[in-house]
Amino acid sequence: MQYINLQERKKRLRLIRFLFPFITALLFSVSFAPFHPFLRFFIFLAFIPFLWAVLHCKKRVFLTGFIFGFLSNVGVFWWISTLIVEDVSRILIASGVVVLILYLSFYWGLVALLISKVKKISPTIAIFSFPFFWISFEFFRSLTSQLGFPWCSVGYSLSNIPSMIQIASITGISGLGFSILIFNSLIYWSITRKHRKRMILGLCFFICLFILQAASGNLIISTAKKGETVSVSLVQANILPEVKRGNEVDERLSILRSLTLDSAIRGSDLIVWSETSIPCYYRESSGCIKRIKNLVKEIGIPLVAGAPEYVGERKAKKRFIYNSAFLISDAGKTIGRYRKIYLVPFGEHLPFDNTFPVLRKIHLGQGDFSPGREFTVLSQGRFKFSVLICFESIFPRLVRKFVRNGAELLVNITEDSWFGKTSGPYQHAEMAIMRAVENRVSVARCGNTGISMLVDPYGRVLKTSKIFERIIIEGEIPLRRGTSFYTRFGDLFAWVIVAISILLFIFPLVAAPFKVRKSTLAG
């Protein structure tokens, strides 16, 4: 009988080990856009199966974590395989997705390995070391644009629930992610306690912390003072990729002109076109650019628009192509320019191609763009603003520098039509919300095919569009009044987490000899 029970227990454990990675993957995937806000709260439970598996694993710990990561990342990033990219084969895109998912899953394996090392000294410390290790790796992924990819960090799961994300103005996205993961650790610790009182106490503590985070967020939002506002019109032209590829300049300008004239009637302070909306290289002598300037002069409202920029002669050895944004004054003159600093790896350039020029000879269908160098703040009348182009909005440290330089408003222009009708545009848009909260600055986001939206400094989406619709989003948004703790001190919280993680990593190495000596003496 005892043998049969033992066999049944082994079968049950095998089933649990098989199912738990899928459970974590499901809970993790539905915790991000475009899923309903109610489902986002599953992120507070998503890592409990992961913790159980890692803490009960005696061998192949890294592989266990890697499998959890692989399934979870497939659930979040599947849409990248559907990208519509000119001159790039489906096989190459699919291969890139696999490499990306393997790369991100590697971090899950590392976290699992580190937890298992700490477990040898103290299982309880191991449970609560999890948030520190995880956030440290997330933070490192956001430090560089070359291979960094902080897309869908854990904290972004709550980005459309304003009351839960106000802590980001102090700690940045790292603090929000840490609070989510510490909740996972606390719940796991509570439900695995043998003593019922400790379990109840742990769960009550979790509930109190959860209520405190939500209540404090609501209080901050409800007591926010109203300040000076500006009116912004976002032109979502919905020009499809096939039209862009066909280089239909007249058709594109006709659509943009019609929508812009409609925007002018509304009396905005600023009109925004999306990334690469101008269908030609931005040169003052270009007939295309002259037509756009005449349009701006006609409506008498400044325009911000994205365009490729070619610097140098075509036959010259030193020539540069930039993904840029230009500010045209109400008098029809170019009065400002920003060149994109963080380029999309493998899309706009190959990583480290400036360091190793030989990489420029490799052609995988990527662009040949050069990065900008200046954290430009553009001035328009009574307010100053900075432009973020495309995925620059997912890098907190980059965005913070623009605000530190004096930006009172952030304008994010993007071209997300390549994502199609997938999760991509929704995930991309929600990450811009967090930049608003971190820096207490409004964000005006204009996408060619969406999502376009106006976000206030507290992460509230005031107006938004659907994807693949032709529409103008217009409204009043507040200018930045003060400086947030995060803007002033940056990733101080994240660096503290990294320091503690290093101590947790060293802890087993230092404590192990003492544990061995203690067991020897006891023997």
Cα–Cα separations (whole angstroms), residue 467 to 302, 344, 404, 446, 499: 26, 22, 32, 11, 42
- H/E segment holding residue 383: strand 383-389
Rounded mean pLDDT, 52-74 = 93
Structure-model confidence comparison of residues 265 and 225, the more confident one:
225
Known catalytic residue at 384: no
Across the chain, mean pLDDT equals 87
Judge: domain 229-480, CATH 1.20.1050.10.
no
According to DSSP, residue 380 is labeled E
- Confidence at 356, pLDDT banded by 50, 70, 90: low
HSE (side-chain half, CA atoms, 13 Å) at 186: 18
* CA distance linking residue 9 with residue 326, whole number of Å: 66
**What mean pLDDT comes out for the span 27-42?**
94
What is the DSSP-derived secondary structure letter of residue 312? Answer: S
401 part of the active site: no
The top-scoring range by mean pLDDT among 50-64, 192-206, 252-266 is 50-64
Angstrom distance (rounded) from CA 364 to CA 220: 48
* Mean pLDDT value of segment 109-121: 93
Rama region for 390: left / alpha / beta (φ>0; ψ in -120 to 50; rest)? left
Q: Quick one: which of 31, 38, 33, 25 has its CA closest to 75?
A: 25
To the query of whether residue 474 is one of the catalytic residues in this protein, the response is no
Q: Is 90 exceeded by the pLDDT of residue 469? A: yes
The C-alpha atoms of residue 2 and residue 478 are separated, in whole angstroms, by: 70
The DSSP H or E segment spanning 475 is: strand 471-478
Q: Are 472 and 262 in contact (CB under 8 A)?
A: yes
Catalytic residue among 57, 280, 288, 390: 390
Q: Among the options 288, 340, 408, 474, which is catalytic?
A: 340
Question: Is 2 a residue whose pLDDT tops 70?
Answer: no
Q: What is the pLDDT of residue 357?
A: 60
Q: Is the pLDDT of residue 458 over 90?
A: yes
- Residue 521 confidence class, pLDDT cut points 50, 70, 90: very low
**Per-residue pLDDT, 6:** 67
Distance CA 410, CA 440 (A): 11
Q: What's the average model confidence in pLDDT over 209-218?
A: 90
421 within 8 A of 405, measured Cβ to Cβ: no
Which residues are bridge partners to 523 per DSSP? none
Distances (CA, A) of 178 to 82, 170, 257, 395, 486: 32, 13, 46, 17, 15
Residue 473 gets which letter from DSSP? E
pLDDT of 507 over the 80 cut: no
Helices (H), 224-322: 241-245, 249-265, 287-299
Mean predicted confidence (pLDDT) in 137-163: 89
Cα separations (Å) of 394 from 1, 81, 254, 302, 343?
A: 58, 20, 32, 27, 12
Determine the pLDDT at residue 517: 52
Q: Residue 354: what pLDDT?
A: 63
Q: Where are the domains of the chain?
A: 2-223+492-516, 229-480
Mean pLDDT along residues 417-424:
90
Q: What is the pLDDT of residue 336?
A: 94
In this prediction, residue 13 has a pLDDT band, given cuts at 50, 70 and 90, of: confident
| Reported pTM | 0.90
Q: What is the per-residue pLDDT for 57? A: 86
Classify the C-alpha dihedral 390-86-421-475 as positive or negative.
positive
Give Cβ neighbours of residue 97 (< 8 Å, ≥ 6 apart): 77, 78, 80, 81
Give percent of the chain above pLDDT 90. Answer: 61
pLDDT (0 to 100) of residue 7? 73
**Tell me, what's the pLDDT at 369?**
81
> Which pLDDT belongs to residue 188?
92
**Which of 57, 117, 275, 430 is flagged as catalytic?**
275
The token duo for 29 is 């995937």
**Residue 426 predicted with pLDDT over 80:** yes
